[in-house]
Amino acid sequence: GQNIDQPTEMTATEGAIVQINCTYQTSGFNGLFWYQQHAGEAPTFLSYNVLDGLEEKGRFSSFLSRSKGYSYLLLKELQMKDSASYLCAVMDSNYQLIWGAGTKLIIKP
């Protein structure tokens, strides 16, 4: 079966750095996505990785290792508005998205 694993919840301090991990087992691989979702709102696109390595976009970076079936989202200089759920999704060989359950990130002052 296909599976995406993420931690259910993480807590971090304002101004700090946090890393949210995502491991996957899917039928083929055509890219990995990270989305941010504030409670009761629409998910919004953060990043897309299809090749190994680190993609940096401002305070957010995303890393991919295809051989290990592993990705992480790195958030720097955390702000209170970063409190949200972070969703990892993998596109399989049929171009279907498989979604993780999401990681709820709590930022404390």
Partner 1 sequence: DGGITQSPKYLFRKEGQNVTLSCEQNLNHDAMYWYRQDPGQGLRLIYYSQIVNDFQKGDIAEGYSVSREKKESFPLTVTSAQTNPTAFYLCASSIIRDSGANVLTFGAGSRLTVL
> What's the min distance (Å) between Cβ of 103 and partner 1?
11
Residue 77 exposure: Cα atoms within 13 Å on the Cβ side:
4
- Interface residue with partner 1, options 57, 67, 95, 109 (CB under 8 A): 95
Alpha-carbon Rg for the chain in angstroms = 13
Q: CA torsion 22→5→14→62, rounded to 10°?
A: 10
> Counting contacts by CB under 8 A, is residue 77 touching partner 1?
no
Contacting positions for partner 1 (CB under 8 A): 4, 8, 30-31, 33, 35, 40-45, 48, 50, 87, 89, 91, 95-102
